[in-house]
């Protein structure tokens, strides 16, 4: 798995669909997309395509989105719209997310360091969002994060994941271990109403579940204040004050929470390391939006009982 | 943990500093019989009783309103009730709290709301399957009793039974009123959270334009107008007659029979109402003069037809609902469903607000009045009263005792020795008829009285609460009573303390409405919007500050009245 910036990468496609055998190569589609692609066959993930690191290399070289990349991405977006049944006229709303080569690696999760654009609709808006993601790794926050992790100042190659926006009532994040208590036997779930932005921002008090991994039963449940929530706007999203009716209600049923916990537990077993999984709660259950390794677990040795 | 709610015991935390009645105006004697009242807070009930009330009416209020309110505490965990007093012939309210004052809103929106949850699940069904059948059953009880044919003993028993019945009716009254208030506040809560910065008027647009009995009765006057104008020469008779003489003149007018028949039908359907809530007030059936005055106004405005507004209002409501749904569609499904539910309950609530008032406040009061009037006639014939109207100066205990004495044929019973008492109370009514009385008494209440809003911020401008959008100019017509309101001419601005149901047809004549009390969901707010009449409520002292003939501009959205020229 090599860097995609050398001359040979010109042969690589500018766009790859999730589920395509080549889209499990992190060097081509970034860590996030590669992970989702690997899970696409067995897990509910939104339909998506990736604008590859090969396209990013061309962008870096020319200082703009090359016409052939734009054409390929636009065609893929039209295809996504057609598959979603929304048709080309209205377009289909998508989430545009960064998927960097060294992000979501086992050593650094980069969570929230790169921009995500939700509810992007129309070819022009999607292309603009792709370009905006490519500009974002140069941002101060991401650079600081990289320095702290010893990753150097040079931005990594960045692919862009374009996912069909899941129409969801609630969003959820599950850790397959308790990252604070470093308890490997528990799944910890946060959830709130609406799209995931307000939850990911971390400045609201979400609903919480603690689920026992072995018995898959709810140990604790707290209904949080969920002060703000993110909803779609005509273009993009809007953070609004959460209506009282929703604040007073848990954003997930226990059934949903257990489904989320079960999926996180299964992913941990399959991938061989603790995971941090983001879900959208759609009409027919949780949809997997991204799955990252947990990189902040204080001392894995605790689990075996040996001293640190 | 602090126990916030004591249903068994009023809050001691609500004991204000004792004033011993200091601060009474020098021209007024201390009015209380209970010395503890000297240290209690009272506020005049200007919404319902802007005028002096008689001994009988006040006793009836204690029997019905005070009782009905008191039952909401044990039955629905209401955090307060209201005690009534009659000071200087005026009605004052004293709030009794069952928690700390600052906890009232919270308890109201939690414990009390929970108690109403079963009703709020489907207000329409609660009305049609529970409340309305019980009210109809009570009405049937009164309808089948032949008052004139009843012996004195049967009449005395019927009075007792009527008073028992009407108590339950007023329990229903407050069940409806509280359920309506909760339905509205729940809808407003969600609406205002989804539409930040919206006003209650914006929210009211989504629940306006539905039929209700009050609006129906108001519009029916315009159907009478159509009948009158369809008959050659008849409309001219209506227009040229003093309302009090119009009926006699119509009866003498050839070709007026269809109008007289339509009027009879109107009164049969809507006539068991009076122009004020009083056992002493004649119903429209007894004296249709107010209807004929409204008919005259309608005839004078051939181009006007408030029925047209209703279709437009319904269309505007549907458009507003669609716009709201577009925004709400952005929210999770549970909120979308709850928004629809709360909107539906609020729509039903607005109708029930009028319909319960029509049936309970008006029609059942009229039914009890009929019993009282029959008894009053007999007491007058027996010499216990000078005339039947003197019954207004008896309380319910005296009335029942008199009925029993009459039934037992105890002519010398002191229960029939009423003339002196009546004379003293009539004199009291006379003495205080034009005496100014304070709006509040005793230590300040922890929550400022509603009437404290709407102070005049600058010369020439009065501020209140916007009730019904629109801007209109006109000459002021101050009306403290319905009789005064009958002087209203088309295009004038009606300025009143408050308005009750039978005032409704005036809304089609007025250019705008200004009142001293009322809220967005008050009767006047609901009906003013139905008539697309610019209206401002909560203008303290409006009937004193504005003079007949002054030119004013009323902005019903901003809640402002501007004086453009003195009268």
**ipTM of predicted complex:** 0.85
> What is the DSSP-derived secondary structure letter of residue A285?
E
A254 contacts chain B (CB < 8 A): no
Q: How far is B70 from chain A (nearest CA, A)?
A: 30
- Compare CB distances from A245 to B190, B196, B333 and report the shortest one's residue: B190
- For an interface test with B, the pick among A172, A192, A233, A245 (most B C-beta atoms closer than 10 Å) comes out as A245
Question: Positive or negative, the Cα torsion across B244, B250, B256, B261?
Answer: positive
Min Cα–Cα distance to chain B from A243, Å:
6
Q: Give the pLDDT of residue B486.
A: 81
* Contact between A241 and B335 using a beta-carbon 8 Å cutoff: no
Extract the tokens encoding B67. Answer: 């009782």
Q: What is the pLDDT along chain B (567 residues), one digit of tens a residue?
A: 334 455 566 665 445 555 556 668 888 888 999 999 988 999 998 888 888 999 999 999 999 999 999 999 999 999 999 999 999 999 999 999 999 888 888 999 999 999 999 999 999 999 999 999 999 999 999 999 999 999 999 999 999 999 999 999 999 999 999 999 999 999 999 999 999 999 888 999 999 888 899 889 989 999 999 999 999 899 999 999 999 999 999 999 999 999 999 999 999 999 999 888 899 999 999 999 999 999 998 998 888 888 888 888 899 999 999 999 999 999 999 999 999 999 999 999 999 999 999 999 999 999 999 999 999 999 999 999 999 999 999 999 999 999 999 999 998 889 999 999 999 999 999 999 989 899 889 887 654 444 333 333 455 788 888 888 889 999 999 988 888 888 888 889 999 988 877 778 788 889 999 988 777 767 778 788 878 889 998 888 888 888 899 999 998 888 889 888 887
Give the list of residues 6+ apart from residue A28 with CB closer than 8 angstroms, or none: A4, A12, A16, A22, A34, A50, A52, A53, A54, A159
Percent of chain A's residues with pLDDT above 70: 80
* Alpha-carbon distance A118 to nearest alpha carbon in chain B (angstroms): 13
pLDDT band at A109 (very low <50, low <70, confident <90, very high): very low
Question: B189 and A245 in contact by Cβ < 8 A?
Answer: yes
Residue A245, chain B, CB below 8 Å: the answer is yes
Give the model's pLDDT for residue B11. Answer: 62
What mean pLDDT is reported for chain A? Answer: 83
Report the C-alpha gap between B289 and B502 in whole angstroms.
12
pLDDT of A3 reads: 39
Mark yes or no for CB contact B335/A245 under 8 Å: yes
* pLDDT for res A146: 57
Of B193, B334, B338, the CB nearest to A169: B334
Over residues A17-30, the pLDDT tens digits come to 998 989 988 889 98
Is the Cβ pair B335, A240 closer than 8 Å?
no
d(CA B398, CA B56): 10
Closest CA to A240 of B2, B343, B347, B190: B190
At residue A113, the pLDDT reads: 52
Is A243 touching B (CB cutoff 8 A)? yes
Per-residue pLDDT of A171-209, as tens digits, reads 999 999 987 777 789 999 999 999 998 898 888 999 999
Helix extents (H) in chain A: 26-39, 53-62, 67-84, 87-90, 123-135, 140-148, 197-201, 244-247, 254-271, 301-304
From B329's Cα to the closest Cα of chain A, the distance in A is 9
Which of B330, B333, B343 should one mutate to test binding to chain A, selecting the residue with the greatest count of A CBs within 10 A? B330
**pTM over 0.90, yes/no:** no
Instruction: Name the burial class of residue B1, with classes exposed (0-12), middle (13-18) and buried (19+) by CB atoms within 10 angstroms of its CB.
Output: exposed
Question: How far apart are the CA of B182 and the nearest CA of chain A, in angstroms?
Answer: 14
Quote the tokens at residue B288.
Answer: 């249709």
Chain A residues with beta carbon closer than 8 angstroms to that of B196 = 240-241
User: Is the pLDDT score of A62 beyond 90?
Assistant: no
Question: Which pLDDT score is estimated for A95?
Answer: 94
Nearest-neighbour CA in chain A from B534: distance (Å): 32
| Token couple for B97 | 């709290």
Return the half-sphere exposure (C-beta side, CA atoms, 13 A cut-off) of residue B266: 28
pLDDT given at position B505: 77
Q: Using a CB–CB cutoff of 8 Å, tell me whether B196 touches chain A.
A: yes
Q: Write down the pLDDT at residue B277.
A: 84
The answer to whether the Cβ–Cβ distance between B332 and A170 falls below 8 Å is yes
Q: What is d(CA B142, CA A100) in angstroms, rounded to the nearest whole number?
A: 83
**Angstrom distance (rounded) from CA B436 to CA B28:** 9
B194 Cβ under 8 Å from any chain A Cβ: yes
Average pLDDT, integer, range A65-84? 91
What's the pLDDT score for residue B455? Answer: 39
Q: With contact defined as beta carbons under 8 Å apart, do B196 and A241 qualify?
A: yes
Rounded Cα distance between B508 and B550, Å, is 20
């Amino acid at each position: 798995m090599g860097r995609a910036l050398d001359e040979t990468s010109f042969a690589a496609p500018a766009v790859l669909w999730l589920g395509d055998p080549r889209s499990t190569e992190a060097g081509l589609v970034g860590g996030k997309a590669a992970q989702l692609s690997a899970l696409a066959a067995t897990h509910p993930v939104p339909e998506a395509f990736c604008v590859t690191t090969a396209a990013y290399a061309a962008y870096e070289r020319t200082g703009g989105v090359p016409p052939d990349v734009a054409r390929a991405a636009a065609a893929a977006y039209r295809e996504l719209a057609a598959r979603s049944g929304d048709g080309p006229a209205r377009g289909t709303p998508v989430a545009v997310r960064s998927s960097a080569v060294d992000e979501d690696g086992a050593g650094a999760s980069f969570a929230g360091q790169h921009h995500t654009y939700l509810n992007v609709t129309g070819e022009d808006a999607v292309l603009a969002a792709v370009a905006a993601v490519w500009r974002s790794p140069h941002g101060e926050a991401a650079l600081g994060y990289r320095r702290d992790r010893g990753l150097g100042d040079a931005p990594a190659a960045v692919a862009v994941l374009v996912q069909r926006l899941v129409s969801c009532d609630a969003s959820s994040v599950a850790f397959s271990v308790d990252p604070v208590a470093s308890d490997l036997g528990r799944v910890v779930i946060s959830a709130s109403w609406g799209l995931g932005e307000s939850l990911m921002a971390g400045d609201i008090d979400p609903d919480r579940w603690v689920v026992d991994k072995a018995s898959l039963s709810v140990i604790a449940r707290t209904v949080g204040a969920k002060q703000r929530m993110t909803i779609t706007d005509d273009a993009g999203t809007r953070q609004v004050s959460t209506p009282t009716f929703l604040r007073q209600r848990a954003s997930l049923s226990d059934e949903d929470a257990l489904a989320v916990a079960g999926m996180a537990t299964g992913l941990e077993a399959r991938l061989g390391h603790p995971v941090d999984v983001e879900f959208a709660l759609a009409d027919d259950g949780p949809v997997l939006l991204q799955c990252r390794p947990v990189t902040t677990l204080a001392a894995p040795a605790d689990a075996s009982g040996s001293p640190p | 943990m602090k126990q916030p709610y004591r249903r068994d015991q009023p809050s001691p935390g609500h004991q204000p500093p004792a004033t011993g009645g200091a601060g009474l105006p020098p021209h007024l004697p201390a009015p209380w019989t209970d010395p503890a009242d000297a240290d209690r807070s009272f506020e005049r009930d200007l919404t319902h009783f802007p005028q002096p009330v008689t001994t009988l009416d006040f006793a009836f209020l204690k029997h019905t309103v005070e009782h009905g309110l008191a039952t909401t505490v044990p039955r629905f965990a209401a955090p307060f009730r209201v005690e009534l007093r009659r000071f200087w012939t005026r009605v004052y309210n004293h709030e009794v709290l069952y928690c700390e004052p600052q906890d009232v809103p919270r308890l109201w929106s939690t414990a009390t709301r929970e108690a109403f949850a079963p009703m709020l699940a489907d207000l329409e069904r609660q009305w049609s399957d529970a409340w309305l059948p019980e009210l109809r059953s009570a009405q049937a009880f009164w309808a089948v009793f032949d008052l004139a044919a009843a012996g004195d003993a049967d009449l005395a028993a019927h009075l007792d039974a009527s008073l028992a019945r009407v108590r339950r009716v007023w329990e229903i009254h407050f069940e409806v009123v509280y359920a309506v208030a909760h339905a509205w506040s729940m809808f407003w809560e969600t609406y205002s959270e989804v539409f930040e910065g919206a006003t209650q008027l914006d929210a009211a647009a989504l629940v306006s334009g539905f039929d209700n009995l009050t609006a129906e009765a108001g519009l029916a006057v315009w159907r009478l107008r159509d009948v009158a104008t369809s008959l050659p020469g008849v409309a001219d008779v209506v227009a040229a007659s003093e309302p009090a003489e119009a009926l006699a003149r119509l009866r003498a007018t050839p070709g007026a029979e269809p109008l007289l028949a339509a009027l009879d039908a109107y009164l049969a359907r809507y006539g068991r109402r009076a122009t004020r809530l009083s056992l002493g007030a004649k119903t429209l059936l007894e004296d249709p003069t107010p209807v004929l005055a409204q008919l005259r106004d309608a005839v004078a405005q051939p181009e006007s037809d408030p029925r047209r507004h209703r279709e437009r209002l319904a269309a505007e409501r549907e458009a507003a609902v669609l716009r709201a749904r577009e925004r709400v569609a952005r929210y999770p499904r549970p909120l979308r469903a709850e928004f629809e539910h709360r909107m539906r309950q609020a729509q039903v609530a607005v109708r029930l607000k009028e319909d319960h008032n029509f049936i309970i406040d008006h029609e059942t009061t009229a039914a009890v009045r009929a019993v009282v009037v029959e008894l009053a006639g007999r007491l007058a014939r027996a010499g216990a009263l000078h005339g039947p109207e003197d019954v207004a100066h008896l309380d319910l205990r005296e009335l029942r005792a008199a009925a029993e004495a009459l039934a037992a044929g105890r002519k010398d019973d002191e229960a029939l020795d009423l003339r002196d008492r009546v004379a003293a109370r009539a004199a009291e009514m006379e003495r205080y008829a034009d005496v100014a009385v304070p709006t509040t008494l005793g230590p300040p209440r922890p929550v400022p009285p509603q009437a404290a809003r709407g102070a005049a911020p600058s010369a020439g401008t009065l501020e209140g609460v916007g009730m019904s959008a629109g801007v209109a100019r006109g000459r002021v017509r101050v009306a403290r009573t319905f009789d005064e309101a009958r002087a209203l001419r088309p295009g004038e601005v009606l300025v009143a303390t408050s308005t009750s149901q039978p005032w409704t047809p005036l809304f089609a004549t007025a250019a705008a409405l200004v009142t001293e009390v009322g809220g967005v969901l008050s009767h006047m707010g609901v009906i003013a919007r139905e008539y697309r009449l610019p209206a401002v409520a909560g203008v303290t002292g409006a009937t004193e500050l504005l003079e007949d003939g002054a030119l004013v501009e009323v902005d019903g959205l901003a809640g402002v009245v501007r004086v453009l020229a003195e009268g």
